[in-house]
Amino acid sequence: GAVVSQHPSRVICKSGTSVKIECRSLDFQATTMFWYRQFPKQSLMLMATSNEGSKATYEQGVEKDKFLINHASLTLSTLTVTSAHPEDSSFYICSAPGAGRTDSPLHFGNGTRLTVT
């Protein structure tokens, strides 16, 4: 089955530094990937849609200059949290749809727990 690998699983960084999170589709190609953020006891909130070879589409209220997305290949999307602050601490999860259909289930990575100190 389709597997999405996300790395790192946990990261602790100091306030003001940048953190890069990678999301890879291991056995399928993903022209689109989605990035979510999840706070404790809350649902997944879509941050942005990553499109291979073009600019990402950001949801309202998400700062594109703070959350940089790069989708340079059909199997890799990266999210960089720039100048991280404690309020950016959260669980970040990526996903990619299965091939071919607009109603395909999403395949999720196992998330990245970001803690900004």
Partner 1 sequence: SQKIEQNSEALNIQEGKTATLTCNYTNYSPAYLQWYRQDPGRGPVFLLLIRENEKEKRKERLKVTFDTTLKQSLFHITASQPADSATYLCALETGANNLFFGTGTRLTVIP
Q: Which is nearer to partner 1, 65 or 101 (CB)?
A: 101
When binding is defined by CB under 8 A, the residue of 49, 51, 80, 82 that contacts partner 1 is 49
- The window from 14-22, 39-47, 72-80, 81-89 that contacts partner 1 (CB under 8 A) reads 39-47
What is the nearest approach in angstroms of partner 1 to the Cβ of residue 97? 4
The residue with tokens 């602790």 is: 12
What is the nearest approach in angstroms of partner 1 to the Cβ of residue 95? 7
Residue 51 lies near partner 1 (rule: CB under 8 A): no
How many other CB atoms are found less than 10 A from the CB of residue 32? 14
Q: Which is nearer to partner 1, 46 or 82 (CB)?
A: 46
Q: By the criterion CB under 8 A, which residues form the site for partner 1?
A: 4, 6, 32, 34, 41-46, 49, 91, 93, 95, 97, 102-111, 113
